[in-house]
Structure 1
Amino acid sequence: MDVVDPQEFVAKVAAGLTAPGAPFEMTVEPVLGVPIPVFARRRANLRELLEHSLSWGDRDYLVTEDRRISFAGHAAAVGALATALAARYGVGKGDRVGILAANGPDWVIAFWAAQCLGAIPVGYNAWWAPPEIAYGLGHTTPTVMIADAKRAALLADTEIPVLTMEEDLPALIAEFGGGEIPSTPLAEDDPAVVLYTSGTSGKPKGVVHSQRNMVAISDYHRFTDAMLAVFMGQEPSDVPRDRRYLVTAPLFHIASLHNLVIPRLLTGAAAVFPHGAFEVGRVLSLVEREKVTNWAAVPTMASRLLEHDVAQHDLSSLAALSLNSAPSSPALLAALRAKIPALQFSLTTSYGLTESGTAATVATPLDLAADDASVGRPIIGVAVEIRDVDGHVVSDGEEGEICIRSPYVMLGYWNDEAATEASIDDRRWLRSGDFGTMRDGRLTVSGRRTDLILRGGENVYPTEIENVLVEHPAVHDCAVFGVDHPDLGQEVAAIIVAEPGTVDPAQLRAFVADRLAHFKVPARWRVTSDALPRNATGKVTRRELAI
């Protein structure tokens, strides 16, 4: 009996689906002047995805603990809100529509309403403090803001019109409903969305993804569905999927918006939203009630799952768990498989960043069986190179900077040409700033971006916090860095140089909390009068610091 190499079988299936004339035929076309592999048959913009979703009719699209919105109901609400934004607030092509809110159906409806007008939705971080919000508004200058009541209260002093999700949106949808869904001509490389990511300079940067990026990401998810169908002995088709995806990461992250909520318009599957902060019991009860099949979690959530008595919940519907946003240790993966046997052959991890649009690599169960420390192989359409400090590609197994090129990679940073040029070269290669190695086609990440702290799936850059701390009159110098944490992966620590008795951690904690999001506030402090260690160029050597 012939033994079939599983990886060869996967490659054969992928080749069949992407061959000339096949459903996912790949071709090479110029993207922003550079030849890039793309799907030959694709939709031109996100508005066409919304049009396609009408075919799913009364199937569930957006589900919460107390709301259930069908694809048809969603499209009707989107059309009404888009009409209202244009008629009452003058929103048009290229204008920004700010969204500042916790996860929920209204966030999604606001996003799609902007798409209908050719406007650019901007997903502001819902955990930002008022100074951060003020920076974001000044940076992307939205024509109108859509916010939940909690965040609308933080926008009381802005001159920008603020629409609340609890009162204004329902009223506008009721008033302007019943008409055609607006449509605005768009080019593939027009901006589609802005999401913020922390910047090494200390200010958040607005990552701009294009219509092409977003449509390609959705097609990638269709492709993975087709691959799975073939593995199960079925013919790939566009029949609606009965899968139900749990959305626990914020919608202002690519993990939830780009890779969970948007692709469902093409696949006819549902997105399920828990309420409030992450609580394992409450989330698992929702998984049980809604028969959730797929969950994309951050490792912190997975760690909390291990501490919970999962036997009290019926999780038999949960067929796939993917871990994103931060590296997952082999020990965590093994513990999850032991805790939930159904995940034995359906646990995946991935590597990507906001700038890459979606995962650059995915480690399938096959990859993890071969090397559970890797983050897998490049996904369809993605090229990954490991380069040395001079930009030369290194040999297999050698460490270097991870560089990525694909139709999913961002256009650039909003209103920041210098940062864009520093991140993307003239051949459209994205420099990740992360370091790793490639062995046998699989990527292993060896170091995160310089000084980056990964706290519970959130990126925290020390410079941003240090810039706030040095504003305190008692602080002469400071350094912020990450320390290991059993649940969060890392937590934020700070060393403060000050005269003895002039300031204490409680005062500093309050000072930072007034200015930055809670996850950026240091949890561990040391106040000293000793000078910080610095290198020959005067930079603090964080590796020498300890709390």
Structure 2
Amino acid sequence: MAAPVDLQQMMHTVVSRLTGPGGRFEIVEEEVRGNRMPVMRNRDRRIGDLVAASRQWGDRDYLVTADRRISFAEHADAVAALATALRDDYGVRKGDRVAVLAANSPEWVVTFWATQCLGAITVGLNSWWTPTEITYGVDLTAPRVIVADARRAELLARADVSGFELLTIEDDVPRIVAERSGSELPSADVDEDDPAVILFTSGTSGHPKGALHSHRNVLAVVDYHRYSDALVAAIHQRSYDDSVPGDNRYLLASPLFHIASLHNLAIPRLATGSAVVMTQGAFDVDKVFALIEQEKVTNWGAVPTMAARMLEHEDPDRYDLSSLTAFALASAPSSPALKQRLREKFPFAGQALVDSYGLTECSTAVAVATAPELEAFPGTLGSPIITVSLEIRDPFGERVPDGDEGEVCVRSPYVMLGYWEDPEATDASITSDGWLRTGDYGTIENGRLRLTGRRSDLILRGGENVYPTEIEQRLDEHPDVVESAVIGVDHEDLGQEVAAVVVLRPGSTAAEDDLRAFCAERLAYYKVPTVWRITQNLLPRNATGKIIRRSITV
């Protein structure tokens, strides 16, 4: 028993040194928009300042694709050129919106940074949207300029929108960067609580809402990643210095209009001098594995859908994936059974696999579980990250004892300003003392968060609360099940009954009776689905990998 105690003591010593008085990441209590909370003392105040600072990384790789390589110096020059044109030719000023409607590309990233240097607000429009959805997003945010790729420009032309200038990724942005070469990098006078970014919530039910993030929110995420790098270095008895660029190479495979790729990858790696290796086009396991091998990728944060496709690959051993030392699952729930299959098939997942819980409204993870924690406490999502306060509350807003179920509530410098142009939704989600009501339900067990489901997904069966996540995770343990979704359907006597849509592997002979018996082994009778649809067609998911429950029928 001495080793765990020694490790725990070592971690306490390291954290105290990093975050205590005089530490690089010293934590102090300050007032944030009327409420006192822990923040880092030594922090940046303007997102755009990171661009000028990144010139110190020079010719090192910042953005890498299968056929392009852009250094930090080249990127800063491109940002200066585009920002100058947005200001002088298109009238973009502090507080104006500049929207991006495009698939992942280096130009997407350059547009983000150019907008930030002007103190404008970057709007990440969902590149999967239809013209009707695009109309909604554009009408809501009223951008002065939209930067779109050719495919989305066609969709934009079919949308019922106007009042903006359109720049294309393929032609206009490269032309502007060339014409304005040598421009001085603009800088805007902004406060750290000024708005900076609008990213849309998943919109799994009803219209998506625009989560408005401040400079403080985004820069707090940057410092969280710096702190995490310093913590890892200290644990491995390596030195950490902000002025020395990081050698890790990060795979960006999720859409940039999501916090996982923008706030937690592209932005912080400009600050740390690390390479961002970007996939383009639809997710293809072979192309991704080849890129990991080619670019010696060390870190990858994948959504569970990607992980499931990895598991289906017949011969991953033909790729050299040995460079991967960190592999995280995020953006959507994943079962312990999925994690175990990953460990069994991919050697890098054994000690590298971590899981987390976060949401767009919080800018980054709320809690993170390390590989040892996932093994020792399966199904939990770890402890709150640095400067995050987390409580489980009852319907009256009162904190419940550990072990009791309630709504997950969070307060931190990462929590958004609110929902753009939606004060009612903001007031319903953020309390007067700064606590975000996530709408997720869970418990705290030994300081670790365990989710039980979404409030909106709750099934009320004959007076009993049934959370789909618990049943879905049980179904995921069945060897013939690829994925599943559990929903409530109307019932005359019970109010609702439990229904399951189950996707089976090709060639499976599992039947409804088999699946029902499998669930009944570990679930109370009222949780066992009574309505079934068995299929081999994958479930509908949004761009962040979450199941679109409103599209599921039995």
Structures share fold, TM-score greater than 0.5: yes
Q: Bigger shift: 397-406 or 443-452?
A: 443-452
Equivalents in 1 of 2:413, 2:548: separation in Å?
A: 32
| Separation of aligned partners in 1, 2:503 and 2:365 | 25
The residue that corresponds to 1:183 in the other structure is: 187
Structure 1 residue 12: deviation in Å? 2.7
Of residues 360, 363, 373, the one that matches 1:367 is 373
Q: Aligned pair in 2 of structure 1 residues 213, 521: CA closer, same or farther (>3 Å)? A: closer
> What letter matches 1:280 in structure 2?
V
How far apart, in 2, do the equivalents of 1:486 and 1:373 lie? 23
Q: Hey, what does 1:252 align to over in structure 2?
A: 257
Tell me, yes or no, if structure 1 residue 438 matches structure 2 residue 444.
Answer: yes
Q: How many angstroms does 1:524 deviate by?
A: 5.7
Report the CA distance between 1:202 and its aligned residue. 1.5
Superimposed CA distance per residue, residues 279-328 of structure 1 (whole angstroms, 9 cap, x where no aligned partner)? 11111000000000000001111111111121010001011100001122
Specify which of 267, 270, 277 is matched with residue 272 of structure 1.
277
Structure 2 counterpart of 1:282: 287
C-alpha distance in 2 between matches for 1:373 and 1:267: 32
Whether the aligned pair in 1 keeps the contact of 2:204 and 2:549 (CA below 8 Å) is no
Per the TM alignment, residue 7 of structure 1 is displaced from its structure 2 partner at its CA by: 3.5
1:339 Cα offset (Å): 1.2
Gaps in structure 2 of 5+ consecutive residues:
459-467, 473-484, 488-496, 506-539
Aligned-pair CA distance for 1:523: 6.8
Find the counterpart in structure 2 of residue 335 from structure 1. 341
Distance 1:486 1:61, change over 3 A: farther
The answer as to whether partners of 1:207 and 1:410 remain within 8 angstroms in 2 is: yes
Secondary structure of the residue aligned to 1:46 is coil
| Conservation of the 8 A alpha-carbon contact between 2:327 and 2:348 | no
C-alpha distance 484-49 of structure 1, shift in aligned 2 (>3 A): farther
Distance 1:291 1:408, change over 3 A: same
RMSD: 2.6
Q: Where in structure 2 are the equivalents of 1:308-319 lying within 5 Å?
A: 308=313, 309-319=315-325
Q: Which amino acid aligns with 1:412?
A: G
Q: What does residue 30 of structure 1 align with? A: 31
Q: What is the CA distance between 1:204 and its match in structure 2?
A: 1.3
Partners of 1:137 and 1:72 in 2: how far apart?
A: 33
Name the counterpart of 1:192.
Answer: 196
Match of 1:127? 128
Note if 1:56 corresponds to 2:61.
no
Offset, 1:520: 5.4
- In 1, the alpha carbon distance for the partners of 2:440 and 2:150 equals 38
Which residue matches 2:166? 162
Separation (CA, whole Å) in 2 of partners of 1:486 and 1:273: 32
Matched with 1:225 is 229
Are the aligned partners of 1:451 and 1:481 in contact in 2 as well (CA < 8 Å)?
no
Q: Cα distance, 1:342 vs. partner?
A: 2.5
Deviation for aligned residue 1:519: 8.1
TM-score (norm 1): 0.84
Q: Give the Cα–Cα distance (whole angstroms) in 2 for the partners of residues 178 and 364 of structure 1.
A: 45
Q: Does the 8 Å CA contact 2:49/2:187 hold for their aligned counterparts? A: no
For the Cα contact (< 8 Å) 2:332–2:546, is it kept in 1? Answer: no
Shift of 1:521: 9.8
Quick one: distance in 2 between partners of 1:10 and 1:521?
41
The count of corresponding residues between Structure 1 and Structure 2 is 480
**Partners of 1:191 and 1:335 in 2: CA distance:** 42
Structure 2 CA distance, aligned partners of 1:293 and 1:120?
A: 32
* Amino acid of the structure 1 residue aligned with 2:213: H
The answer (yes or no) to whether the contact 2:249–2:296 under 8 Å persists in 1 is: yes
1:37 partner SS: strand
Change (3 A) 1:352 1:127: same
Instruction: Say which SS state the counterpart of residue 369 (structure 1) adopts.
Output: helix
Q: Deviations over 1:363-407 (max 9, x none)?
A: 012321320210111000101100011111111111110001110
Matched, 1:396 2:373: no
What is the deviation of 1:263? 0.2
Deviations 1:46-102 (A, max 9, x none): 112112111101110011111111111111001100001111110110000010000
Which has the higher mean CA deviation after the structures are superposed, 340-349 or 116-125?
A: 340-349
Closer, same or farther in 2 for the Cα pair 1:261/1:482, shift >3 Å? farther
Residues 85 and 480 from structure 1, CA distance in 2 versus in 1: closer, same or farther, beyond 3 angstroms? farther
Q: Structure 1 pair 439/524, CA: closer, same or farther in 2 (3 Å)?
A: closer
Report if aligned partners of 2:204, 2:548 keep a CA contact under 8 Å in 1: no
Residues 326-335 or 63-72, more deviating: 326-335
Instruction: Give the distance between the partners of 2:49 and 2:129, measured in 1 at CA.
Output: 33
1:500-511 equivalent positions in 2, closer than 5 A = none
Partner of 2:3: 3
Which amino acid is 2:259 matched to?
I
Q: Deviations over 1:170-222 (max 9, x none)?
A: 11111112021000111000001000114577111100000000001000000
Instruction: State the alpha-carbon separation in 2 of the partners of residues 480 and 277 from structure 1.
Output: 34
Aligned pairs for 1:446-485 (under 5 A) are: 446-451=452-457, 483-485=501-503
Return the TM-score normalized by structure 2: 0.82
Distance between the aligned counterparts of 1:203 and 1:184, measured in 2? 33
Rounded Cα–Cα distance in structure 1 between residues aligned with 2:46 and 2:78:
20
Alignment partner of 2:233: what SS?
helix
- Relative distance call for 1:391 and 1:50 in structure 2 (3 A) is same
1:475 aligned residue: none
Q: Distance in 1 between matches of 2:152 and 2:272?
A: 32
Contact 1:424 1:431 in 2 (8 A): yes
Counterpart amino acid of residue 288 in structure 1: E
Gap runs ≥5 in structure 1: 463-478, 488-511, 526-546
Give the share of equivalent positions with the same residue, in percent.
Answer: 55
Matching residue of 1:152:
153
Q: Distance in 2 between matches of 1:410 and 1:107?
A: 22
Secondary structure of 2:256 counterpart: coil
1:180 is paired with a residue whose SS is: coil
* Aligned residue in 2 for 1:292: 297
| Aligned equivalents of 1:304, 1:200: Cα separation in 2 | 22
Q: 3-state DSSP class of the match of 2:414?
A: coil
Matched AA of 2:70: I
Q: Hey, what's the Cα distance between the residues in 2 that align with 1:174 and 1:415? A: 37
Return the letter of the residue paired with 1:282: K
3-state secondary structure, aligned to 2:294: helix
SS of structure 1 residue aligned to 2:48: helix
Aligned to 1:355: 361
